[in-house]
Chains A and B, each alone.
Chain A
Amino acid sequence: MELTRRDAVSALTALGASVAVAGCSDAAPTAQQPDRDADVDADVDADTELRETMVAAAEVVYPDEVTGIDTFVNTFLDSRLAGDRHAASVADAVAAVNDRAKSWYDDRFAALDADTRDSVLREMGADTAEPHRDGSTAEEVRYYVVNELLLALYSSPTGGELVGIENPQGHAGGTDSYQRGPPT
Chain B
Amino acid sequence: MSGRPPAEDIETSAGATDRTPVADADVCIVGAGPAGALVADRLADAGHEVVVLEAGPRFDFDDRLARQEKAIRPTYSRPEVWDSDPERDAHGNSGPWFYPLNHARARGVGGSTLHWQGMVMRLHEGDFNSKSERGVGTDWPIDYADLRPYYAAAEQELGVAGGDNPFAPPREEPRPMPAFPPSYSDSLFADACDELGIAMHPVPNARNSEVYDGRSQCVGYGTCQPVCPSGAKYDGTVHIESAEEKGATVIDRAAVQRLAHDADRITAATYATPDGEYRQEADAFVLAAGGVEIPRLLLLSESEQYPEGLANSSGAVGRFFMDHLFAGMGGTLDEPTRQNHVGFLTSESHQFYDDADAEFAPFKLEFFNYAGPSPVEMALTGDDWGNDLLDRLRDGYGTHIAMGGLVEQLPREDSYIGLDESTTDNHGNPVPDVHWNVGDRALRTIERANEIQRSILDELGVDIEWTAGPDSTGPAYHHMGTTRMGDDPADSVVDAECRTHDLDNCWIASSSVFPTGGAMNPTLTIAALALRVADAVDAAV
Contact = CB atoms under 8 A, between A and B. Distances in A.
A76 B390 CA distance: 20
Given A78-B3, A175-B220, A179-B184, A168 B380 contact: no
Interface stretch (A25-33, A39-47, A100-108, A156-164): A156-164
Contacts of B9: 83-86
Interface in B378-413: 379-380, 383-387, 389-390, 393-394, 397-398
Contact of B65 (A10, A14, A175, A177): A10
Nearest to A89: B8
B385 A174 contact: no
**Size category of the binding interface on chain A:** 35 or more
Interface string A1-45: 000000011111111111101000000000000000000000000
Interface stretch (A48-56, A91-99, A126-134): A126-134
Contact of B74 (A131, A154, A179): A131
A169 B386 contact: no
Given A19-B2, A164-B394, A173 B230 contact: no
Nearest to A162: B390
Given A171-B221, A175-B180, A178-B220, 8 more contacts: A18-B2, A60-B385, A62-B385, A118-B386, A160-B375, A162-B390, A172-B219, A178-B185
Contacts of A79: 1-5
A150 interface: yes
Interface in B34-65: 62, 65
Interface residues of B, number: 62
Nearest to A62: B386
A65 B393 CA distance: 14
Contacts of B230: 15, 172
Contact of B72 (A16, A143, A170): A170
Contacts, number: 208
Nearest to B180: A175
Interface string B131-157: 000000000000000000000000000
A10 B4 contact: yes
A151 to B, nearest CB: 6
A86 to B, nearest CB: 4
A15 B338 CA distance: 25
A61 to B, nearest CB: 4
Contacts of B389: 61, 63, 150
B238 to A, nearest CB: 16
Contacts of A146: 385
Given A168-B375, A175-B342, A61 B222 contact: no
Nearest to A128: B383
Interface string B104-125: 0000000000000000000000
Contacts of A143: 75
The residue among B3, B390, B394 with the most chain A CB atoms within 10 A of its own CB is: B3
B86 interface: no
B348 interface: no
A178 B341 contact: yes
B386 A63 contact: yes
B482 interface: no
Nearest to A180: B184
Contacts of B5: 19, 79-80, 82-83
A84 B181 CA distance: 43
Interface string B354-392: 000000000000000100001111011001111101100
B32 interface: no
Contacts of A18: 2
A147 B75 CA distance: 10
Interface string B210-234: 0000001111111100000111000
In order of increasing CB-CB distance, the 8 nearest A-B pairs are: A79-B3, A86-B6, A83-B9, A178-B341, A61-B385, A182-B336, A169-B222, A154-B376
Nearest to A156: B376
A150 B340 contact: no
